[in-house]
Amino acid sequence: MFDEALISGNFRLVSRDNHPDNTVITVEDVVFGETEIVIIAGPCAVESAEQLITTAFYAKAAGVQLLRGGTFKLRTSPYSFQGLGEEGMKLLAQAKRETGLPVVSEVVDEESTLLAARYVDVLQIGARNMQNYVLLKRAARTGKPILLKRGMAATLEELLGAAEYILDEGNPRVILCERGIRGFSDFARNTLDLSIIPAVQEVCHLPIIVDPSHASGRRSLVAPLARAAIAAGADGIMVEVHPDPSRALSDGNQTLPLPELGTLLPQLAQIAKVVGRNLRLAPEFPYKLGIDNPCK
């Protein structure tokens, strides 16, 4: 895929040529890049203690391994909800204390990176910042694992080039994330480019997960895309969930109500088996009923 000059040059750290084995990234007891499929779930944005803690307990019961929640939001309009900032990160830390789930949140600048270094376990770089190389290097220097989302118009080389910046800064713990790219779909927010999963795996040793929520923008498309992502070899899924998506302050249209985790996860577990992977389901969770809310 890459020519010789690029392998030994621009992609020397991310290239599989120089590192044939998959990179395995551990976040507490969560492992990316081995047999296990990792499920990340949580609201688009942290909105309140009640919203986050309810979500966290449900997600934990359902078998989710990492809790997500945006606290510094990059919104298209300055009048949209911008996130709770530090308060939101404190709530993530509280949710972790109460459930044991490690937490993921996006960093957008120096201030949010400093806070995330204190309060969160995985720093997310959003699609809009994939090529903000100053931010990539700053986030890398925290030493925390980085969830690097593909820019909405980024090529494979640009995605891997962004990852190379993080590795070059001395941080090898990068998880790539496909989240849909801009095409000419008139029915979905973005177009999920599943072909990048095997394409990345051919040339790069880093784990890659899929975000079917931002890829589709529509609740009804999220589960089918999540299933397809596991079939295509993704190392995990990051999905937006909320106790009441109709009242979500951001991305409600693409957000699953919590009980849908109970339907989706066992389906993903079955598909995982076919592709030689494993998704650990929580034995005590009422998957068969699916609609029960263990938080009540």
Residues of this chain that bind ligand PEP (CB under 6 A): 44, 70, 106, 126-128, 149, 179, 214
Give the residue with the Cβ less far from ligand PEP, 15 or 42: 42
49-62 and 259-274 helices, crossing angle to 10°:
40
The SS3 call for residue 150 is coil
Q: From the CB of residue 149, how many other CB atoms can be counted at a distance below 10 Å?
A: 26
Q: Which does 127 bind (CB under 5 to 8 A by kind): Mn ion, ligand PEP, none?
A: ligand PEP
Placement of tokens 């391994």 in the chain: 65
The Cα–Cα gap between 56 and 264 comes to: 17
Only one of the segments 7-15, 60-68, 203-211, 245-253 lies at the binding site for Mn ion (rule: CB under 5 A); that segment is: 245-253
Distance between CA atoms of 233 and 253, rounded to whole angstroms?
27
Cβ-based neighbours of 186, under 8 Å, separated by 6 or more: none
Q: Which does 179 bind (CB under 5 to 8 A by kind): ligand PEP, Mn ion, none?
A: ligand PEP
Contact between residue 2 and residue 200 where contact means Cβ atoms under 8 Å apart = no
Largest CA-CA distance found in the chain, in angstroms, rounded: 59
CB of 128 to Mn ion, least distance (A): 12
CA torsion, points 262, 268, 271, 277, in degrees to nearest 10?
-120
Rounded Cα gap, residues 255 and 253, in angstroms: 6
- Cβ closer to Mn ion: 124 or 201? 124
Residue 173 contact among Mn ion, ligand PEP, none, beta carbon within 5 to 8 Å by kind: none
Q: Judge contact between 131 and 104, C-beta under 8 A.
A: no
3-state secondary structure of 211: coil
Tokens of 58: 């449900």
Q: Taking the complex as a whole, how short is the minimal distance between the CB of residue 126 and ligand PEP, in angstroms?
A: 3
In this complex, which beta carbon is closest to Mn ion, that of residue 1 or of residue 74?
A: 74
Structure tokens at 215: 């890829």
Task: Reduce the DSSP state of residue 219 to 3 states and report it.
Answer: helix
Q: Is residue 251 near Mn ion by the rule CB under 5 A?
A: yes
Closer to ligand PEP by Cβ: residue 13 or 152: 152
Of 127 and 167, which has the nearer Cβ to ligand PEP? 127
Which of ligand PEP, Mn ion, none lies near 126, with the C-beta cut-off 5 to 8 A by kind?
ligand PEP
> Which partner in Mn ion, ligand PEP, none is near 149 (CB below 5 to 8 A by kind)?
ligand PEP
Which one of Mn ion, ligand PEP, none is in contact with 151 (Cβ closer than 5 to 8 A by kind)?
none
Residue 47 binding partner per list ligand PEP, Mn ion, none, with a CB distance cut-off of 5 to 8 Å that depends on partner kind: none
* Nearest residue (CB) to Mn ion, 60 versus 73: 73
Name which of Mn ion, ligand PEP, none residue 161 binds, using a CB cut-off of 5 to 8 Å depending on partner kind.
none
User: Between 235 and 251, whose beta carbon lies closer to Mn ion?
Assistant: 251
- Quote the tokens at residue 172: 């090898």
Crossing angle of helices 86-99/110-119, nearest 10°?
20
State which residue has the least CB distance to ligand PEP.
126
Site string for Mn ion, 31-60 (x = CB under 5 A): -------------x----------------
Q: How far is Cα 52 from Cα 242, in angstroms, rounded to an integer? A: 8
Would you say 15 or 102 has its CB closer to ligand PEP?
102
Which positions touch Mn ion (CB under 5 A)? Answer: 44, 251
